[in-house]
Structure 1
């Protein structure tokens, strides 16, 4: 409530209630003073009583002085401002009342050094227009600048990475893409892994150069890759780190149906069991007779397929002859498992799959909807797999004398070095169906190259695996830095989840999460890394997410571009409100409560002394 120049924060209803209470208290005290037989100093007693009650009321109401606040402009110097830009701006016709600096390395005598933007907002409320010099501020810093208009006078960023993207969490065998854009450069851009160069490209004095490095991590674990750029004369321009967490494929229940014993199945089952997958195998040994194997799985009847049996599995691996020999009802159960329950299916390429011909059966088009290009007069093909750029080593393999044709809905999984598709995946409602032309992958194991066997099968199985959507942590793409906030996102069905952050040294922090108003399964929180190194965030029951916090001076060019983008965006938004900042606006200054307390003390002291003497 305002009485120019006095303002009381309390509303009308609250003020009325307090005023009525004060009136009755004052009336009662005055009536007590009047009824005293001693009539001396009556007027002074009444005055002291009124002063005490009024002072008590003002202590509760906390009144404020209303003053006129003249809006002024200021300059904020941020990192990236050069001396000539600063001098030219000072000598311009723009009139500013203050000059502030956030650049600790610059020496501008006219500027007042401040720790952050929030300091200016708190201590200089009259400043409503700021001219930003340099590269600007991060998006999280602009959250403190409500009610301030901005004009951005940007500086050019350093030559380096402008944009960068990679998937931080991948499964073993999954191909990693490191994509980005280099502002300008003349030299060699390299991606280095633990074992040396993974991928590279030559840049010949180009601007806005886009790159896309691809590789397959050799093993599970935490990895740091380095993105390095050197000029043609060998000068190092930058060396940036890319953090990566490679995890095993989630444990799956896999059913293998084969028409005859195969060496491929023998080595595959051993690898799957070693990876803690549950494997059940039914092998036909003669007409109507089967052999059964159970690895990491309890025994179960397998003579006939049932809907309950199929619901117990995540993936079925079946060759063309076995698929053809099933009854119509069994094929229909597998079809329903794929479309309705998300069952994955890998169809092993044999003559039924590749040649077709008169080998027709019900739902053939559903299971074998792949088109092939045949290489005549070849018994097999020797190919080089581009899916496994294995620390600079290209994997050679033997393949069927066919290639999978491009088709709508087909996702290529593995290609050879000529671009021919060797393995692909197609969606079937909730599930996936895949086939591969790679022949005898077990020979990698026999040749002492079991890592290639692991990468190949991890890639295939990862494509067919069901997504585990029970709990998922996410952070924004790009590097993470010490002393800069991370927005953590958690998708979970838990009622009240809490994040646990653990550092390399074993220090743990609790992260309290806020539930999204629209999506009840979405939770978010903020964390500020304090030290360089690996961090692990998880809940008590969920899968963790790892990330690496880098020094604040890393990825300079990328950070400069991020600041420029955030500042330009804020300047555009603030320009829409700039007219409202040009007026003289009121400012409310709280009156010190000490004065009211002294009045209350003085009134009560007089009443006490007056009764004594």
Structure 2
């Protein structure tokens, strides 16, 4: 028992020891006149006990609450009582703690033998509290409902709003409905009884503005089970001037030019027929002479698309001109790949690829539709920004920044086969995202980068913006100023965090430029519950299931010893030392 005692203020031991000894020696010197008398030894002994008791009180002694081999169960939202019962049968001394977000998780416990985390897991902002513990995460079965959901938050009028997701453990007969802002049903799908099922819903966007669609689930009798918001910003269509140059006519370009022309873009096609002879096609634009790729010729275009062979055969003058227009004028550049492209590193803003065996893939937005691809995938690198990802979260279309412009390519092959197979909408969605992402943008004084159009009331919402304004002042629609800070490496990049209080559409603006507005939708925690639970489970799995070589320092859970006995001993000792001389005089 005594060997288990520890002192919470152990770092004070040298100072308290020295102080106690000095005070005791002063008392010995005071009593030295009675040396060799019985009361001398009695008094200095009692004084010693008084100093020891006072020193121990100051050091704050404590005893372990849990033994070195005691297990702890941390109960988080949605934990299974059966799992807890099973743990308690195996570990008789199991201690349980209830988790509350943003509060001390294991009070007075630095580490124990093992901490079992049951349920959906802890919030990411509380991970740091478990850094020095051995964690065994025991999650429940995945929740029933929509666990994954994806759609493009900003769309162009006239395009399709494509919503896709994954429903876990559906109940046969239930129906998912995509409802419009007025509550009218736009698309629906019946769920079948299965362990998991993907789904896809869509509708055409007919007017610009900010809208809130809804994903509604109803049972077989039409009873409403859930309603989750889908905020969408619908923007006006911008028409681009696009140049496509091919070393020979291809089906890929044939179908692509038809789509671009139908969307109202101005398109110029230059295809080589034989050596030194080219075929020119013009859509939605007047004829114009086009010889070599010079800065003057390229300056009037917003997007240039070249096949890999043309890029490889570009002369030094044309290559330099193309790079200059991309860097200085923000031209978008797309490379149509071929088999040799992935083995070459000479292209502009070269990409790195990993070889794989698969020659087919599915996009996250259309998990059921197979698309041909080259046997390569993009390497995950800092500069590579994804345009499309496949159903395994690997990048299949991407771009890099090159000065003011962007350079892009893809590993997808023969995407026109989607049109031949009757998947015209999917084909249009695929290329619309590429065109809108990399096409030249009108220069803006402030550019916003948003991680999500959906915010949660009273929870953090992060924002980023690029601007040449020296000291931008960011304010909410209520007039409150949001503190922002400059990136340490990028002088025109600013970041900040706000905590929205108002439900519905919110606005954030820059005081120096009233046109620089960021709009996002705020909901509460009653929506997208299953998706949030699933995301938290996945985060906890990644956090706690990853093996670590970090040495965990063993420190026991302790509780201070009640010092009342020490106080009584100290008072008895000093009381005797005060009272004894008075009794002797009488």
TM-score normalized with structure 2 length: 0.50
User: Are the equivalent residues in 2 in contact too, given 1:78–1:101 (CA < 8 A)?
Assistant: no
* Structure 2 residue 60 is matched with structure 1 residue 62: yes
Q: Residue 200 of structure 2 is aligned with which of 197, 211, 219? A: 211
Paired residue total: 420
Pairs within 5 Å for 1:129-528? 129-130=115-116, 132=118, 139=124, 144-145=129-130, 147=133, 149-150=135-136, 152=138, 154-155=140-141, 157-158=143-144, 160-168=145-153, 177-183=162-168, 184=170, 189-194=176-181, 200-203=187-190, 205=192, 207-211=196-200, 213=202, 215-216=204-205, 218-220=207-209, 222-230=210-218, 234-245=222-233, 338-344=325-331, 430-431=404-405, 463-465=439-441, 472=448, 474-475=450-451, 477=452, 480-482=455-457, 485-486=459-460, 488=462, 490=464, 506=478
Question: Structure 1 residues 97 and 75, CA, compared in 2 at 3 Å: closer, same or farther?
Answer: farther
Q: Residue 552 of structure 1 is aligned with which of 525, 538, 551? A: 525
Q: Which residue of 2 aligns with 1:362?
A: none
User: Are the equivalent residues in 2 in contact too, given 1:117–1:145 (CA < 8 A)?
Assistant: no
* Shift in Å, 1:196: 6.3
d(CA) in 1 for partners of 2:189 and 2:563?
Answer: 71
Q: Which residue of 2 aligns with 1:20?
A: 18
Q: Which residue of 2 aligns with 1:591?
A: 561
The DSSP-based 3-state class of the residue aligned with 1:4 is helix
d(CA) in 1 for partners of 2:468 and 2:569?
Answer: 57
What residue ranges of structure 2 are gaps of 5+ in the alignment?
242-283, 301-320, 334-347, 349-386, 388-398, 408-431
Task: Summarize deviations over 1:215-252 as a string: whole Å, max 9, x none.
Answer: 547334x43221234567644443211234568999xx
Q: Which residue of 2 aligns with 1:5?
A: 4
User: Are the equivalent residues in 2 in contact too, given 1:74–1:96 (CA < 8 A)?
Assistant: no
* Shift in Å, 1:164: 1.2
d(CA) in 2 for partners of 1:544 and 1:66?
Answer: 57
d(CA) in 1 for partners of 2:103 and 2:96?
Answer: 12
User: Are the equivalent residues in 2 in contact too, given 1:473–1:491 (CA < 8 A)?
Assistant: yes
d(CA) in 2 for partners of 1:559 and 1:28?
Answer: 68
* Shift in Å, 1:163: 0.5
Question: Structure 1 residues 226 and 34, CA, compared in 2 at 3 Å: closer, same or farther?
Answer: same
User: Are the equivalent residues in 1 in contact too, given 2:161–2:204 (CA < 8 A)?
Assistant: yes
User: Are the equivalent residues in 1 in contact too, given 2:482–2:498 (CA < 8 A)?
Assistant: no
d(CA) in 2 for partners of 1:121 and 1:569?
Answer: 21
* Shift in Å, 1:15: 3.6
Q: How big is the alpha-carbon RMSD for the aligned residues of Structure 1 and Structure 2?
A: 6.2
Task: Summarize deviations over 1:392-451 as a string: whole Å, max 9, x none.
Answer: xxxxxxxxxxxxxxxxxxxxx9xxxxxxxxxxx999974379xxxxxxxxxxxxxxxxxx
Question: Which moved further from structure 2: 230-239 or 92-101?
Answer: 92-101
User: Are the equivalent residues in 1 in contact too, given 2:108–2:558 (CA < 8 A)?
Assistant: no
Task: Summarize deviations over 1:317-340 as a string: whole Å, max 9, x none.
Answer: x97667779xx8855887576233
What residue ranges of structure 1 are gaps of 5+ in the alignment?
103-113, 256-317, 347-365, 367-412, 414-424, 434-455
User: Are the equivalent residues in 1 in contact too, given 2:328–2:403 (CA < 8 A)?
Assistant: no
Question: Structure 1 residues 568 and 51, CA, compared in 2 at 3 Å: closer, same or farther?
Answer: same
d(CA) in 1 for partners of 2:206 and 2:289?
Answer: 34
User: Are the equivalent residues in 2 in contact too, given 1:130–1:149 (CA < 8 A)?
Assistant: yes
d(CA) in 2 for partners of 1:580 and 1:536?
Answer: 46
* Shift in Å, 1:86: 3.7
The DSSP-based 3-state class of the residue aligned with 2:545 is helix
Question: Structure 1 residues 518 and 164, CA, compared in 2 at 3 Å: closer, same or farther?
Answer: farther
* Shift in Å, 1:24: 3.3
Question: Which moved further from structure 2: 204-213 or 165-174?
Answer: 165-174
User: Are the equivalent residues in 1 in contact too, given 2:445–2:469 (CA < 8 A)?
Assistant: no
Question: Structure 1 residues 428 and 71, CA, compared in 2 at 3 Å: closer, same or farther?
Answer: closer
Pairs within 5 Å for 1:8-87? 8-9=7-8, 15-34=13-32, 42-43=40-41, 45-47=43-45, 49-66=47-64, 69=67, 70-72=69-71, 76=75, 78-79=77-78, 86=82
* Structure 2 residue 572 is matched with structure 1 residue 572: no
* Shift in Å, 1:181: 2.4
Task: Summarize deviations over 1:512-535 as a string: whole Å, max 9, x none.
Answer: 98x999989888777766775455
Question: Structure 1 residues 580 and 170, CA, compared in 2 at 3 Å: closer, same or farther?
Answer: same
